[in-house]
Amino acid sequence: MLARPEPFADLTVLTTLSAIIALFPVALHRVVFRRRAKTEVVRYGHEARITALLTVSVLLVGVGAFVFDIVVSARAAWWAAPT
């Protein structure tokens, strides 16, 4: 197993964080609709999408390492997801 006993906790937090980042622009749009804040909302939505893609990328690497760690070995996990 990996050095820490519960690496899945970090993956769970990262999953939640990426979902919040990805969905928040929708909620923001609903709140500021018809307040002439389209430019700011679109800019924030673009930045949020890029951030969400980055967090999902890190999450995919982490999940791959976690699966290899459980199924094969810790050494295979380090080869599967280089850091």
Kindly report, residue by residue over 26-64, the tens digit of the pLDDT: 999 988 888 888 889 999 999 999 999 999 999 988 888
Question: Is the distance from CB of 22 to CB of 55 less than 8 angstroms?
Answer: no
Q: What is the pTM of this model?
A: 0.73
User: What is the extent of the structural domain holding 65?
Assistant: 8-80
Does 47 reside within a domain? yes
Does 34 reside within a domain? yes
Residue 39 tokens read as: 């430019």
Does 2 reside within a domain? no
Does 1 reside within a domain? no
Residue 63 tokens read as: 């999940």
Does 61 reside within a domain? yes
Number of domains in the chain: 1
Does 37 reside within a domain? yes
Of 55, 59, 67, whose CA–CA distance to 23 is shortest?
55
Does 3 reside within a domain? no
